[in-house]
Amino acid sequence: MNKPFIVGIAGGSGSGKTFFLNRFLDHFTPDEVCLVSQDDYYIPVAHTMTAEENKLYNFDLPDTIDNSHFENDIQKLLVNKTIYKKEYTFNNPNATPKLLQIKPAPILIVEGLFILHFKGIANLLDMKIFVDADEDIALQRRLKRDLIERGYSNDDVLYKWVNHVVPAYKEYLLPYKNECDKVILNNTHTADDILAVTEQISQELRKKVLTAKN
């Protein structure tokens, strides 16, 4: 197989990146695309922490990610090797992590907060997509997710937002926004808007990558 076409999708917390990504994947079959997520490369530390330590620990820094493992797995996919990776369960003690099997495909999607900051990864990307949202909208999405899905208190979410999330976004993601091929402003709560954008990009990729390989 020829070298995959690598699409990098970056976005801050609450940008709606996961929703965008899932709708994007809907346009392809599993044989056409594979996904590597930065979240699955967090260095495991939370299992040893108290609730207070977890609140104060800053997960929004590049050194919380095992970047060498992240980059090595991407390199394996580029030479047509399947990778195996235990999923990250976001400190949920009740969740049993699954063993992820990621098979190479013509289109490789790499997603995460720091993928543009990690130069070894950024330099591999053939297309860079930046998913963004206004700060007040992003915060409301973060609150909804962390309060309901992850069981954090309102105070904990706001503490992390002010002290960790926003500073990390401004330092490690925002400076690369103008370098991206496509910037998607995702303030809407209307699925049709995102579906239209993902349809347009997927058709562009299909012409550029999949048609050329057939």
- Residue 188, domain CATH: 3.40.50.300
Whether this prediction's pTM lies above 0.75 is answered by yes
List the chain pLDDT tens, one digit each, 214 residues.
578 999 999 999 999 998 899 999 999 999 999 999 999 999 888 667 777 787 788 999 999 999 999 999 999 999 999 999 988 776 666 677 889 899 999 999 999 999 999 999 999 999 999 999 999 999 999 998 887 766 678 888 899 999 999 999 999 999 999 999 999 999 976 677 788 889 999 999 988 887 766 5
pLDDT at 98: 85
**How far is it between the farthest Cα atoms of the chain?**
54
Assigned token pair, 171: 């330092």
Domain count, the chain: 1
pLDDT at 150: 66
Assigned token pair, 55: 């609140």
Q: Which domain holds residue 186?
A: 5-213
pLDDT at 50: 79
Listed in order, strand segments (DSSP E) in the chain are 5-11, 33-37, 83-86, 99-102, 107-111, 127-132, 182-185
3-state secondary structure 133-181: CCHHHHHHHHHHHHHHCCCCCHHHHHHHHHHHHHHHHHHHCHHHHHHCC
pLDDT at 212: 64
pLDDT at 114: 97
Q: How far is CA 8 from CA 166, 181, 188, in A?
A: 21, 10, 22
